[in-house]
Amino acid sequence: MLPVAALAQAALEARRNAYCPYSHFAVGAALLSAEGEIFTGCNVENATQGPGCCAERTALCKAVSEGVRRFTAIAVAGGPEGEPPVDFCPPCGVCRQALAEFCGGELPVILVKDAQQVRTVTLGELLPLAFQRAADCAKKEE
Ligand code: THU
């Protein structure tokens, strides 16, 4: 069973650290590894926009940089800064592609409004026909 409540809570807590002085839109993410560890992330914006990073990719880069590459689920919570999320916040297209590098289409993506209101979709629903790296690249890693 997926620890949905714990992931939702972790995403909401990570959201409190969002650095979003330009958009004032705060996002938190909680990525569950296959080993059961939770990696959290928030969005980190920048005055020049380009270097800014979404919450999901912050969590993913934290995990991968710690040597973790297999994941079971991700929870995402986002909305106007300083107030609880008013709606579900599905990952942006770039984050969908970033997740597809390490996760299959069956990955549950848990959209969080609050600890009680969640909606689970799959990465495959969010990113059908995802571009995948060439099979020979994957083979080299085996
Ligand atoms: N944002 C995320 O962190 N994740 C998403 O999937 C959607 C957008 C951030 C990027 C930017 O800091 C702010 O939300 C407004 O777009």
Q: What is the pLDDT along the chain (142 residues), one digit of tens a residue?
A: 899 999 999 999 999 999 999 999 999 999 999 999 999 999 999 999 999 999 999 999 999 999 999 999 999 999 999 999 999 999 999 999 999 999 999 999 999 999 889 999 999 999 999 998 766 666 666 6
How many contiguous H segments (helices) and E segments (strands) does the chain have?
5, 5
Q: Which residues have C-beta atoms less than 6 Å from ligand 1? A: 20, 23, 25, 27, 43, 45, 52, 54-56, 91-92, 95
**CA pseudo-torsion sign 132, 35, 111, 44:** negative
Whole-structure pTM value:
0.95
Question: Which ligand 1 atom minimizes the distance to the CA of 43?
Answer: 3
CA nearest 8: which of 74, 91, 98? 74
The CA distance from 119 to 107, in Å, is 13
Is the CATH number 3.40.140.10 carried by domain 4-141? yes
Task: Return the ∠ at Cα 20 (arms to 19 and 22), rounded to 5°.
Answer: 145
